[in-house]
Amino acid sequence: MSVISYILAAITVGGGLAAVLLKNMVHCALAVSLAFAGLALLFLDLDAQFAGFVQILVYVGAVAILVVFAILLTRSSETPKDGGVFSPTWLAGLVVAAAVFAVIGWAVLNSVGGLSYETAVPAVTVQQIGQELMGRYVLPLEIVALLLTVATIGAVIVAMHEKEDAK
Amino acid sequence: MTPLAGYLLVAALLFSIGLAGALTRRNAILVLIGIELMLNAANLNLIAFWRYGPHPEALTGMMFAIFSIAVAAAEAAVGLGLVISIHRHAQTADLDEMNRMKG
């Protein structure tokens, strides 16, 4: 990893940490946008240009806006009066997360040595990706299109204002 | 440490942060943010394995990551819609107060 990878990794991890730890929900949304942007830059650093730009469009552009709207619509930017922002069983959750990190880190450090091919930069163009999407991956692409349609309609119906509740 | 191991460790750290957020926060939206962080960490793994794998020209890891991003976007839309709907019903987004399945 080069110096710039370390800087990008620090930005991403710092954004994630801030998103989990901050008290104000709007600050959390901004921090998670920073983490998403850092991940997009990490993708660019890994020579996956298309995935990086998709990450910026989908996450920084759409998901972050959705999160901000949900926060403002549920008025959860106000900090709760009792007991803070963490659940009473936060210690158990922290222990589980630390244990998961320990196991994954141990597995990575002990197994990955034989797998790192120091290959040249893969010359992948957007045209190749498009041809793969329209050729070998056309069925998954159609299924994803259907899934996105269903999810859009489902989200609108679930969040729609019901008339009988308005009275 | 090889570059692949470095990226995998960053992804593991991000996954653990997301898991800690999903397990410890009280607000449902923050739990969804934690889940998004975990999904993003998995995407970073896919891209790193694609870049340092034996056949990057086959594009499998990249395709998996792109489809994963699409599915995660659908999940975020439905999840946040559910949170808004539950908030309208129960007047709270606090998971500790959502202890009944019947409204």
Q: Supply the ipTM of this predicted assembly.
A: 0.91
Given an 8 Å threshold on Cβ–Cβ distance, is A25 in contact with B76? no
Place of tokens 């803070």: A84
**Main-chain dihedrals φ then ψ at residue A9, nearest 5 degrees:** -65, -40
Residue of A13 and B56 predicted with greater confidence? A13
Predicted TM-score (pTM) of this structure? 0.89
B103 domain-assigned: no
* CATH at B75: 1.10.287.3510
B102 domain-assigned: no
Residues of B in contact with A54 (CB under 8 A): 66, 69
B80 domain-assigned: yes
B92 domain-assigned: yes
Q: A25 Cβ partners below 8 Å, 6+ apart?
A: A71, A76, A77, B27, B29, B30
Distance from C-alpha of A159 to C-alpha of B75, rounded to nearest angstrom: 14
What mean pLDDT comes out for the span B2-23?
A: 92
What one-letter code names the amino acid at A45? Answer: D
Residue A154 CA, distance from chain mean position: 21
- Predicted confidence band of residue A167 (pLDDT cuts 50, 70, 90): very low
Given an 8 Å threshold on Cβ–Cβ distance, is B74 in contact with A29? no
**Main-chain dihedrals φ then ψ at residue A116, nearest 5 degrees:** -85, 100
Distance from C-alpha of B19 to C-alpha of B24, rounded to nearest angstrom: 8
Given an 8 Å threshold on Cβ–Cβ distance, is A76 in contact with B73? no
For residue B4, give the nearest of A47, A94, A115 by CB distance.
A115
- Residue A81: CA atoms inside 13 Å, Cβ hemisphere, count? 1
Residues of A in contact with B94 (CB under 8 A): 80
Of all residues in chain B, the one with the smallest CA distance to A134 is B63
Given an 8 Å threshold on Cβ–Cβ distance, is A116 in contact with B26? no
Q: Write out pLDDT tens, residues A148-157.
A: 999 999 999 9
pLDDT of residue A39: 94
Q: Write out pLDDT tens, residues B53-94.
A: 888 888 888 999 999 999 999 999 999 998 888 888 877 778
Q: Say yes or no: B15 contacts chain A, CB-CB below 8 A.
A: yes
**Main-chain dihedrals φ then ψ at residue A137, nearest 5 degrees:** -105, 30
- The three-point CA angle A123-B73-A85 to 5° equals 120
How many beta carbons lie within 10 A of that of residue A154, not counting itself?
15
User: Range of B9's domain?
Assistant: 3-97
Q: Which of B7, B29, B52, B95 to mutate to test the interface with A (most CBs of A within 10 A)?
A: B29
Q: Which of B84, B95, B101 is nearest to B31 (CA)?
A: B95
Q: Write out pLDDT tens, residues A123-138.
A: 788 888 899 889 999 9
Q: Which of A4, A28, A46 to mutate to test the interface with B (most CBs of B within 10 A)?
A: A46
Of all residues in chain A, the one with the smallest CA distance to B38 is A16
- Across the strands, what pairs with B94? B27
Question: CA distances (Å), A123 to each of A50, A111, B4, B62, in order?
Answer: 12, 28, 19, 13
**Main-chain dihedrals φ then ψ at residue B94, nearest 5 degrees:** -85, 120
What mean pLDDT comes out for the span A1-28?
A: 90
User: Contact at 8 Å (CB) between A28 and B30?
Assistant: yes
Minimal Cα–Cα distance from A6 to chain B, Å?
A: 9
Domain ranges of chain A: 1-79, 122-167
Q: Which fold has domain A1-79?
A: Four Helix Bundle (Hemerythrin (Met), subunit A) (1.20.120)
Place of tokens 């963490």: A86
